[in-house]
Structures are given as C-alpha cells and as structure tokens.
Chains A and B, each alone.
Chain A
Amino acid sequence: MMRFMLLFSRQGKLRLQKWYLATSDKERKKMVRELMQVVLARKPKMCSFLEWRDLKVVYKRYASLYFCCAIEGQDNELITLELIHRYVELLDKYFGSVCELDIIFNFEKAYFILDEFLMGGDVQDTSKKSVLKAIEQADLLQEDESPRSVLEEMGLA
C-alpha cells in the first residue's frame, strides 16, 4: 500500500501531497522536509529507490518536478515507478503536455486525476481511458453549470 505521494519542484517547493494513512500535520511537515532533502541531494544516474525510515521510497524526476512515493516493505518498486509514469501520462493527456505551472494553477484537477487513479493507497484503475473518461465527464458537468454560475455571480439568479 502506498503511504503517501509528494510532488515537489527542484527548488524544494511542494506542489501536491496525498496521504493515505492518517498522519498529524506536524509529522507530515517533518516528513516532507526530511524526504525532500534526501531526494534532492541525489545525483541524476542514481537508483530510483531508497530506504527511508521504515519505508521504501520510489521517485522519478520529470523536468523540474519530482514525483515521490513512499511504499511499504513488501510493495513492488518497479510497478510503483510505472505508477508514477502513468500518472504523469494522465496529467499530460489531460493538460496537453503538462508543465509545472499547470499543476500549480490547476492543483485541484491534479488531485481529481490522482483520486481517479489511486484510492486509499492502491490502484483503482490502470486504464488511461477509464480514468480520463471519468475526469472528462466531471468537466462536462462543470460546463453545464458554468453559465448558471456566471449568472449567479452577476446577481441575476
């Protein structure tokens, strides 16, 4: 089971965090700080896995963003690495060649996509199509609503 997933930039700015086990705010901050330091210090050609506390950490860098997952002792490292890749593909497909700014400005979308893909620390569906279909459906719902929202905003509703 995945314990948490972090997205952070090369400058050490956290862009997304998802925790799959109840963890206090204080502990979260401490773990994020510690782990970012460890991962950012690693050189390019190094292996994508490392032991950290009692967990295994799997990370990969895409452009300026690090995707970093903490998994448990018996979990499969390589499949986790590909899980990161699949998530990047999903973001890419949704945003159309995704970049860090997309994730900053549409962080809620990044969350929604992740939630369609993973739940409670396990893969929910690995099919790119199913995941994107779910997201697109949601977007359609949003568009249906939009005109109304605009009207409401203008106080006409």
Chain B
Amino acid sequence: MRGLAVFISDIRNCKSKEAEIKRINKELANIRSKFKGDKALDGYSKKKYVCKLLFIFLLGHDIDFGHMEAVNLLSSNRYTEKQIGYLFISVLVNSNSELIRLINNAIKNDLASRNPTFMGLALHCIASVGSREMAEAFAGEIPKVLVAGDTMDSVKQSAALCLLRLYRTSPDLVPMGDWTSRVVHLLNDQHLGVVTAATSLITTLAQKNPEEFKTSVSLAVSRLSRIVTSASTDLQDYTYYFVPAPWLSVKLLRLLQCYPPPDPAVRGRLTECLETILNKAQEPPKSKKVQHSNAKNAVLFEAISLIIHHDSEPNLLVRACNQLGQFLQHRETNLRYLALESMCTLASSEFSHEAVKTHIETVINALKTERDVSVRQRAVDLLYAMCDRSNAPQIVAEMLSYLETADYSIREEIVLKVAILAEKYAVDYTWYVDTILNLIRIAGDYVSEEVWYRVIQIVINRDDVQGCAAKTVFEALQAPACHENLVKVGGYILGEFGNLIAGDPRSSPLIQFHLLHSKFHLCSVPTRALLLSTYIKFVNLFPEVKPTIQDVLRSDSQLRNADVELQQRAVEYLRLSTVASTDILATVLEEMPPFPERESSILAKLKKKKGPSTVTDLEDTKRDRSVDVNGGPEPAPASTSAVSTPSPSADLLGLGAAPPAPAGPPPSSGGSGLLVDVFSDSASVVAPLAPGSEDNFARFVCKNNGVLFENQLLQIGLKSEFRQNLGRMFIFYGNKTSTQFLNFTPTLICSDDLQPNLNLQTKPVDPTVEGGAQVQQVVNIECVSDFTEAPVLNIQFRYGGTFQNVSVQLPITLNKFFQPTEMASQDFFQRWKQLSNPQQEVQNIFKAKHPMDTEVTKAKIIGFGSALLEEVDPNPANFVGAGIIHTKTTQIGCLLRLEPNLQAQMYRLTLRTSKEAVSQRLCELLSAQF
C-alpha cells in the first residue's frame, strides 16, 4: 500500500507537533470525503484508508468514523482486505451495539466458511472485542468448533483461547456440557501448540469448576513428566534454547495449582517431576544465553510455586528454599528479585519458615546494597514475612536504619510494617514505645495518624508501660527539633500520665509544661488544640501549675486566637479551671478509659495499601506457625475480656480478637456479624435473636427508655439520649435470680454493612453479676452515615452450671438522629416539590394495626423525632412532619406526610428525603408504628 507508506513518511518528516496535526487533519478530511463521496470505493482503497485511520489512531488521535467501511471489508473475499477489517475492529471497537450486530454477522459467515484462515480471523476478532453480545452470539458455537474431530489444529488453538476470553468476560454465557471432558483430553493431544492453548483454557475453567475438571490433574502430571524427562531436542520447535516446552511446562504447573496434592499414585510421579526440575537447576547450563537460563528458571519458579501451594512435602520445601537462597546472591538482578518474592510465600509455610530465616543476613544485605528500589522493596517484604518473636528486634532495627535512607516511595509502607512488627512481637513495651518514637524521629512525615493513634491506644490500655512511656516521650521531647507527630504523642501521653514521672525533680510538672509549651508555637492548629487539652489535664493532675497554665490560656494569643477551635478551647478550659471544684475537674478530666480492642488500624491501612489478600494470608498463617514451630504457644484469648486484662502474650493487633463470623443462625438480617467490641468466650456462637425481639425493637423506635428484654433470669433495660449524630445508651442488666452470673459478657455486633456507618464504643462490664444486682454499661454511639440494619446485643454468661446465650436487636435506628425542623406551610410545600424525584420519595399504604387515635399518632410522630407541623396540610386530618437526619458525613432533610383513612382503617405514608435509602428506611420504621 504505497499511499500508506507515503503518509507514514510524511508524518515522520513533520518537524513539529503542529505540522503533524495539520497533516493528519488533511488526511482525515481526505478520507472522510472519499468515504462520503458518490463514487463507490473499491476494496483496495477502502483497505488503504482504513489502514491510514488505524495508523492515525495509533499515533494517539481519536477516530470517530470509518467503522462502517471496516465492517464492509469483513465481508470481502480477499484475505488481506478481510484481515485489515478485522484488525481495525479489534483495535478500535469496544462495544458499539449497532455495529456489533453487523460484525457478528460477518464473523458468523467466516466461522461457517470452513476456511481455516478465515475462521482464525473471526475467532481472533471475538477474542479481541470479547463483549457480552459476542458471547451471547458465539459462546454456544465455539465449544463445538473446539472439540469437533475435523477441526484443524490451528483453529483448535484459536477456539480454545477465544472461548477462554468469553468465559472470562461472561462465564454465565458459556454452557458447560459434554465438551468439557473432551477439552480435558486435549492435554493428551499430539500437537503441543494445541496442548498449550488448551491448558490455559482448562486452568481457568478448573479454577471455577474444580470438580468437573478433576481428571485434568493426572493428565497434566503425565504430560509434564514426559516433557521434563525428554531430551532437549525431542520436542523440536517447542524446545526453546535447550529447554523443552517451557511455556507449556509453566502452564501445566499453574493448572496443578488449582488443586490440592493429588492421590498417592499420581503424587509420586509429580514429586519425581518436581525433583527433576530442582535437579536440573543444579546442572551446568546447556547454553550461556540468558534465554536459556530464563526459560529454565521460569519453570523452576513455577515448580516452587506449586511446592509452596501444596505445602506438604517438607523435603521439597526445604530444597526450594535452598535453591532460592542461591538465587539471592545471583548476579542476575531479575533472579534476586524473584527469589526474594518467592521466599516471601515460603516464609509462611511451617516447614520452611526456619529455613527461610537462615537467609536473614543476605536479605538484610540486599536491603543495604541493592541498587534497584524494586528489589529493595522485595527485601523489605521478605523481612516482614520472615519476622517472628526470635528475630523481631534485629529485623525492626534493620528496617529502622534502612528507613533513614529509604526511597521516598516506600517509606510509608516501611513505617507501617515496622509499627506492626514492633507491636506484634513486643515482649517489652518500652521497646515498642521506643521503636515508634524512633519511627517518628526518623520518618515523622511518613508516620500516618493510625500509627501514632495506635501507640496511644496501647499505652492507655496497658498500666505497666504508662510510666515508662511518659519517661520516654519526655526524653524524646528534649531534642531541640522534634517532629510534630512526636509533640502530639508526647502531649497526649504526658497529659494522661505525666504524673507518673512528676516525682523526679528533673521532670517536675512545671518542667513538663515548659517543655511542651516550648514546642507549641511551631505546631499546626490541630496539634496546638491537642496541647491545650494537655494543659487542662495538667491543671487537674498538678494543681501547682494551674496559675501558670491559666496565664497561658488567658493570653491574647489564645483567648483571641483567630482559629475558632483554639479560641474556644482556650476560653472553655480557662473557665473550667476557674469555676470547677477539684472534684468536678477530676471527674471531667479523668484518665481516658481503655480503648476497645479491635483490628489494628495500622494493619487495616497496610491491607488497603497492599490489597487485602496478601496481608491477611501472611498474618493468619504466621499465627498458626508461631504456635507450631516456635514452641511459644499463644494462648487462645482468655475468657475474660480482652480489654480489661490484656495478657501480654495475647495478640496485640487484635487479629485474634474478632473470631470469624459465627456459625449457626445469623445474628441479624444482614448475615455474618462482626464483633466490633469486647468479647469473651470466643468459642461460643452468637445465639439467634430472642423471640419477641422484633416487637420489642419496634416499641423503641418512637421512645428511648424502657425494658428491652426479659426472661426468668435476666432483665435488660435501656435509657438513651441522642443529639445530632451522637448518642449515648445506658444498658442495665438486672440479675433476677439469687445466684451469681459468671463470665457475664455482653457483646455488640454490627454486621459488615452496618459497621462503617455506625460507630459503637463501650467498656466491658464486670464479668460477675451478683444475684439481685444490676450492672450498667454505657454505649457511645456515633452515626457516621445513614444505615438500615440494627446492631445486635449478644449476652453470654454462666448461670449455675449452664451456659446462657441471648441475642436481641439493639434499638439504634436511623430516626434517632433526627432533629425536628419547624417550618411554615409555604416552605414545607416548596421543599416537598423540590424533592419530587422518584428516587427521593417512598410511599407505603398499609392497614392500621392499632386504633386510629389522633393524639397517639401525634405523639408517635414527635417520638419518631421529626417536628409535627400543625396547620400545614390543607386536610386537617393529615399529619405532616419535617426534620433533619444528622450523620457525621452529611445531613439529610426529611419530609413526611401521613394520611389516615378512617373508613378503610388504612394509612398512606409518604417520605421524601434527598437520599433514597433514607426515605426507604424511615418509611419502614414509621409504618410499623401505626
């Protein structure tokens, strides 16, 4: 195509971007006029212009025409025209439905043509576009082509991969059937190209339908065995640089990773294969070319992946580990990188964990000397994976020292990893606190909030480290230039526990205060706000510094600070310190209560960074191992609450704190529950909801106090108050018997759906409830976003010799966060009209379940939380209400209208809010009240 070559030369000769664009626009105009022209274009010209368009597209310009001409080329009888047409379509067409039908027609013809070249083109096009419409049209046809006896090998190959593509995009459209067993037997095919293509297809199918493709295991093993034992020339063109069929070997090994270790007979043969592959790695290379070693090692690494996947042959695992150990010092950067990566997974196997640990020095060395940051990153990952109690101090120290020079791109991740390891393997909490302060010193900017929040949580929850922590932060703050995060941690900890070191004249209250205040002016507003709180805490802890602090608070720079938060704190704290008696001060400024144990926020953050699967797997397997291998048993969480008596060996990250979703009946409508809070007897399951719980729940929608549950043993009463998006609920547990309840453990359970939207915080209660006594638990509630489900309160205890388990829904409903809004009739209807979108309105017509009493209805609407608007609705029998739902993230205006029909004993309830889910939920809740 000379025209095309000329055009490409022209473009290449353009001296500037502008000239290029000009030339392209000229060409586009030309092509457009040719396509639109009266004269019918012949196939050759069409092909040429379509090809030019393709080239222009590849230069990065948008192409919005020519599709039709390309489709025309598909039905040409000339191979090259057809080919260019298909190329254009596979590169440019995504899923233009209008065209797809035409394209599908052309494909259908070519598939039926029995011309292998045309069939190949058609299959390629399906695989390239791969849209649902194509799957609908061809997913039934292609399996037939694939297994038909007279199909040519090359077409079989294309058909296998084409089907694979369709299965990936629309698995539901690919019918399983007789063909599946015949596809499995393609593993035995004479033609290695067919086997290669079929193995990819089988692997993906087997991942989703392991049962149906089980027979592929023995076939794959025997095929693999024949390949690895073949002489390097046996496979002719499928031997690549003296390595027999490396692609196929890798694919077969990958297929085997869809299954557990096979039956003994097959297993023996597989083990032989794997040993052969490991042995070959030790043989001298058959060629000096890098392609030879790459192909050989590609198979080796895939074999190691399979060995790790099976995780059952200690001998193979250790051999794999030794092999990777050799690669750690290989001169090829690629091999060092892959060895580090592969060892990470090996580190989590109990059989090879110890073997991996022996390479610690090499890995640390890699961290220090590797010139490529991506390799260093792998080294960090491996150190993290191989860390356990025995080497944690060394690994943490090395990571800290690496952090001083680490690349900026990976600093934050290293900080998170150090913080997690330091916490997880801390035997001695002073070491932990030291480590975190070091982190802040070295890489303060990369220490996220989660990390310094976490150190504070841990210090607050552990009496034994508080004094030491106070001393450590005090010393760290002596440095002339501290990172702001250190000031935050220091301020918080001294505010809580400064009294523990105040006895030493070198850290007297006044010195502590001056030390903190010397940093004050260099800090940002949030830190200053935190420090002001520290100061008021000092007023309580150390009456002797009260005048000094009052002077500071009284200064213009505080009381008249331009920042409203700082000003408010200064004013309020100053006032508080002046008017409150010592008793009141002591109550208001009491030490922070312990934080509820939950999954470490740092770990959550790392998971978010790295993708959940990698981190959890690592952690879980490591937990198992630390019991088995290190002989340092980690006791199952004690039956007492994890918060009140943290045992030093219990998992600090709270990883063990949340047992998996309880088996048995789901605690709430949402399915699996997640413990957000304190828990005890982790072995027990959560009881199903107590009978009648639904009714009781409904009674609390419009009121806040009352008895939530009662049986012969236990009474649960509630008192709650809500303001804006916050609330507090007092739960009273009454022991109605004369015998003690033991291990008394109430747990709040939020489903996965609910958890992000509703924050519940509470302290554990005393595990013993005396006969006839009542204990109280306070739940602090924060509505983060609108929610539908209700949390479940599960109570477990021992009464006499029996285990009691009760679950009730806790009546925390969306309407609790209502603030009533009064408005005039005109305003109401104006807003009502604004919310006229169909999604914004939810309506329910229902039969009255209670006598239709106007006063009761009014009381219920007010109890529901909205304002009851009188004289708004033209029909005086109707009720209208308005209010705003407050959540942390947003406020949602709500309007409601209830129309009673006395004759029919029916109601019609209409809710209009700016958010569909809110309208829906409020309508549900309120409908149940009448």
Contact = CB atoms under 8 A, between A and B. Distances in A.
A46 B338 contact: no
Interface string A114-157: 01000111111111111000100110011001000100110001
Size category of the B interface is 35 or more
B247 A138 contact: no
Contact of A124 (B12, B78, B193, B334): B193
B192 A120 contact: no
A108 B168 contact: no
A43 B374 CA distance: 12
Contact of B295 (A79, A111, A145): A79
Interface string A1-42: 100000000000011110010101100010000000000000
A130 B489 CA distance: 67
Contacts of A120: 127-128, 130, 161-162, 164-165, 168
Interface string B133-154: 0000000000000000000001
Contacts of A79: 246-247, 250, 295, 298-299, 302
A86 interface: yes
A82 interface: yes
B197 A125 contact: yes
A30 to B, nearest CB: 12
A76 B302 contact: yes
Contacts, number: 173
Given A14-B60, A82-B295, A127-B192, A45 B337 contact: no
Interface string B248-286: 101000100000000000000000000000000000000
Contacts of A122: 161, 164, 197, 200
Interface stretch (A48-56, A62-70, A90-98): A48-56
A77 B374 CA distance: 14
A133 to B, nearest CB: 9
Interface stretch (B29-37, B51-59, B442-450, B600-608): B51-59
Nearest to B166: A120
A46 B238 contact: no
B295 A78 contact: yes
A1 B168 contact: yes
Interface stretch (B79-87, B177-185, B454-462, B810-818): B79-87
Contacts of A152: 42-44
B896 interface: no
Interface string B3-25: 00100100010000000000000
B117 interface: yes
A46 B333 contact: yes
A157 B846 CA distance: 79
B853 interface: no
A76 B301 contact: yes
Given A81-B294, A112-B83, A125-B196, A76 B162 contact: no
Interface in B495-531: none
B737 interface: no
A23 to B, nearest CB: 9
Size category of the A interface is 35 or more
B295 A138 contact: no
Given A76-B302, A104-B12, A137-B117, A126 B238 contact: yes
B127 A119 contact: yes
A107 B88 CA distance: 12
B157 interface: yes
Contacts of B298: 76-79, 81-82
B584 to A, nearest CB: 55
Contacts of B55: 107
B131 interface: yes
A83 B8 CA distance: 29
Contact of A141 (B117, B193, B250, B337): B117
Contacts of B168: 1, 120
A138 B79 contact: yes
B551 interface: no
Contacts of A137: 117
B611 interface: yes
B333 A127 contact: no
B247 A47 contact: no
B95 interface: yes
B58 A22 contact: no
Interface in B271-319: 291, 294-295, 297-299, 301-302
B910 interface: no
Interface in B685-727: none
Nearest to B295: A82
A13 to B, nearest CB: 9
A45 B373 CA distance: 12
A107 B240 CA distance: 26
B131 to A, nearest CB: 7
Interface in B30-75: 42-44, 51, 54-55, 58-60, 62
B216 interface: no
Given A78-B294, A142-B79, A104 B8 contact: yes
A83 to B, nearest CB: 8
Contacts of A50: 374
B58 A47 contact: no
B107 interface: no
Interface string B100-121: 0000000000000000010010
A89 to B, nearest CB: 9
Contacts of B154: 125, 130, 134
A86 to B, nearest CB: 7
A157 to B, nearest CB: 8
A123 B196 contact: yes
A29 B611 CA distance: 25
B245 A126 contact: yes
Contacts of A15: 58
Contacts of B94: 22, 24
Contacts of B123: 119
A93 to B, nearest CB: 12
Given A49-B374, A82-B294, A126 B248 contact: yes
A2 to B, nearest CB: 11
B295 A108 contact: no
Given A111-B87, A123-B247, A126-B240, A47 B95 contact: no
Contacts of A17: 58
A138 B130 contact: no
A107 B50 CA distance: 13
B410 to A, nearest CB: 11
B346 to A, nearest CB: 16
Nearest to B293: A78
B158 A85 contact: no
13 contacts: A22-B95, A46-B372, A47-B334, A51-B374, A77-B338, A78-B334, A105-B8, A122-B164, A122-B197, A125-B197, A127-B237, A153-B42, A157-B42
Interface of A: 1, 14-17, 20, 22, 24-25, 29, 43, 45-51, 54, 74, 76-79, 81-83, 85-86, 104-105, 107-108, 111-112, 115, 119-130, 134, 137-138, 141-142, 145, 149, 152-153, 157
3 tightest A-B contacts by CB?
A78-B298, A120-B165, A79-B298
Given A107-B54, A108-B83, 6 more contacts: A22-B169, A51-B374, A104-B12, A108-B84, A126-B240, A129-B237
